[in-house]
């Protein structure tokens, strides 16, 4: 993880927790720092996948607690993706997010949608 991208991501996640559960924000920051250390010290692909899934679930639970945070998280992810594009991040890099596409057609109409 690039230093700038990592720090931006960590700060963004801690900020989300600070808004919803200020009493846990510092603990979340420490957990993320430990996670980074484990990954940098040679965590296996299985360990990385398990940690990724754990944090996906934690973020999901946070967003279910306070759906208003969804917009903020989406904005942070977009900003991070733009920064990675500008720095020429590796093509296999994934940014996890969500999209909601909705379309309605009638009378034989066609709908074409695309997401990135």
Calculate the alpha carbon distances from 89 to 21, 23, 67, 106 in Å: 33, 35, 30, 42
* pLDDT score recorded for residue 115: 66
Exposure string for 98-110, b = 16+ CB within 10 A, e = fewer:
eeeeeeeeeeeee
SS3 category, 105? coil
pLDDT in tens, 35-87: 888 878 877 888 888 888 888 899 888 888 888 888 888 888 888 777 766 66
* pLDDT score recorded for residue 23: 94
Give residue 103's Cα distance to chain centre: 26
pTM of the model: 0.63
């Amino acid at each position: 993880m690039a230093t700038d991208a990592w720090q931006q991501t960590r700060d963004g996640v801690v900020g989300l927790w600070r808004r919803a559960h200020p009493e846990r924000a510092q603990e979340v920051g420490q957990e993320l720092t430990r996670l980074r250390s484990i990954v940098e010290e040679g965590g296996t692909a299985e360990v990385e996948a398990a940690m990724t899934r754990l944090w996906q679930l934690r973020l999901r639970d946070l967003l279910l607690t306070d759906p208003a945070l969804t917009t903020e998280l989406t904005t942070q992810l977009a900003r991070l993706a733009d920064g990675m594009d500008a720095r020429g991040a590796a093509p296999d890099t994934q940014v996890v997010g969500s999209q909601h596409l909705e379309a309605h057609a009638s009378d034989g109409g066609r709908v074409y949608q695309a997401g990135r």
